[in-house]
Amino acid sequence: MHCAHPFCRTLALAVGLGLILSTQSVFPQAKPAREAIAAAYKVFEAAYFKGDAEAIAKQYTLDAELFLPNGPIVKGRQAIQEVWKNLVSSGGNKLRIETIEVQEAGNWAYETGKFVAMTPDGKVIADAKYLVIWKRDESGEWKTHRDIPNSNVPMKQP
């Protein structure tokens, strides 16, 4: 099959461009977000136990935002690291994160889930649900871009 007509060459170029664009939207990346998220949380849980706020912060984009309850929005990886430094303290506590749902669209994904944090003697210090926006960066890595949890525990009546 060969056609040297100039129209054919123009069409061939257009087809190529069209297919490249459409393939990018249909197969957005090699590594599915769900798999990347599961791997990221293994690292996250280990870092939490070790009290390694820097390793946790590295999982966020540089311009990430953390929406913690009872305070303003924490902006940027550096500020987020400071917050986690307080939360993990010197380590020893256990964190278990469980993804419920992952929905991808191109370089973006949202994820819902829940987590429980416990002291070494099993006292629950956090029992919460969350919504996270993941962003795939230039290197193809999925990073946390927006992160908002809130508690599952009913308010104490005054």
In contact, 81 and 25? CB cutoff 8 Å: no
Exactly one of 49, 76, 107, 126 binds a second copy (CB under 8 A); that residue is 107
Exactly one of 78, 89, 119, 150 binds a second copy (CB under 8 A); that residue is 150
**DSSP state letters, 107-156:** TEEEEEEEEEEE-TT--EEEEEEEEEEEEE-TTS-EEEEEEEEEE-SPPP
How many whole angstroms separate alpha carbon 86 and alpha carbon 51?
A: 9
The interface mask with a second copy, positions 32-51, x = CB under 8 A, is --------------------
- Region of 34-42, 63-71, 83-91, 117-125 interacting with a second copy (CB under 8 A): 63-71
Residue type, 11: L
Among candidate residues 55, 40, 58, 54, the one with its CA nearest the CA of residue 109: 40
In contact, 113 and 32? CB cutoff 8 Å: no
Closer of 4 and 120 to a second copy (Cβ): 4
What's the min distance (Å) between Cβ of 63 and a second copy? 11
Catalog residues that contact a second copy under the rule CB under 8 A: 1-3, 5, 7-8, 11-12, 14-15, 17-19, 21-22, 24-26, 65, 67-73, 103, 105-108, 110, 112, 129-131, 133, 146, 148-155
